[in-house]
Structure formats: C-alpha cells, structure tokens
Amino acid sequence: MGSTLALGPIETALLARLRAHTTLTAQLARVDTDLGVYDEVPQAIPRDRRYPYVRVADGAEREVPMDAMGPAAAFKWGSVVSVPIRVVSRERGNGEATTLMNCIKALLDGQPLEVDGYGSVIVECSGTTAVPGELFGGVVTRELVSDFTITVSQRGL
C-alpha cells in the first residue's frame, strides 16, 4: 500500500469521537441538531447562540510522513500529525473552557482511536495554551487550545 495523507481520516475520527460523547456535547451550545463540535463553525448560527463550542483543527494542522521501512508493497507508511483542538467560551474566567478541555483530554489522550486506513494509532496531548480573550460583536471569548499529536501507521491492517 502506498503512502497517503492521514490528516483527513484523523480529523474524521476525532470529530466522530467528540460528537459521540454525550457528556461533552450536553455542555456545548446546541442549535437544532447541531452538536457544538466543528471543523468549521457554521456562519448560519447566530453568535449569541454558538458558545461554548469545540473546534477540531483550525488550519494549523501539520503532518509529517514516515516510512517504517520495508518492501514497497508492504503496509509500511505512517504519519505524525499535529491537530489543535480549541474550546471557545464566553464565560468569565477559564472555568468553563477548562472543564470542557479536561473532558476532551480524557476522551483522547492515550486512548485508542480508530482511524480509517491505519492499523496502529497513538494519541497524545502535547500541550495546552490559554489564548487571551477577544471581543467579537460585543462578546468577550475565552479560549483553550490543546495540541494533540496523533501517530498513525498502516502496520496492523
């Protein structure tokens, strides 16, 4: 099997894991059938109804391919992918954002994750940053961004 990009399947797996966790989604703003976990925040949702929310990947993802060595026809390829996950809140202080990020970290860090096309997956939280609040349409936001490193390999398929 040849080398392929892992970023798409990884983002799909992360979104599915977070959206499936009812304890997390129950704490997020919900509009109709929306679960509050996005890869891109829908502009159709009014600003006053979209907080808090979680955004998986924000354009700052990075993928580094790796060759586990072996015959060309072997399942020898993999990648190390860095994906930021952002919690955005409008509550004063970092309490709400911290509670949500703790839930996300518990769901992902060191936990098994099924990624389509890869037999081996390791998920690690490599750090969290508090982002200074910004003013959007009169609303001050609080953000926590955790960087998750996901290492995938075709081996084990």
User: Which pLDDT tens digit goes with each residue over 8-52?
Assistant: 999 999 999 999 999 999 898 766 667 889 888 777 766 666 789
Which residue ranges form the domains of the chain, and what is each CATH number?
7-153 (3.30.2000.20)
pLDDT at position 42: 73
| Mean pLDDT along residues 102-127 | 95
Q: For residues 7 and 19, is the Cβ–Cβ distance under 8 A?
A: no
Is the entire prediction scored with pTM above 0.85? yes
pLDDT at position 123: 97
Query: 147 falls in which pLDDT band (50, 70, 90)?
Result: very high
pLDDT at position 46: 65
Query: 144 falls in which pLDDT band (50, 70, 90)?
Result: very high
User: Which pLDDT tens digit goes with each residue over 57-96?
Assistant: 877 789 898 877 766 666 778 899 999 999 999 888 889 9
Angle at which helices 95-108 and 7-20 cross, to 10°: 120
pLDDT at 56 exceeding the cut of 60: yes
Q: How far apart are the C-alpha atoms of 84 and 92, rounded to whole Å?
A: 23
Q: How far apart are the C-alpha atoms of 14 and 109, rounded to whole Å?
A: 11
Q: For residues 25 and 54, is the Cβ–Cβ distance under 8 A?
A: no
| Mean pLDDT along residues 122-144 | 84
Question: What tokens does 76 get?
Answer: 């020898």
Cβ neighbour number for residue 36 with a 10 Å cutoff: 23
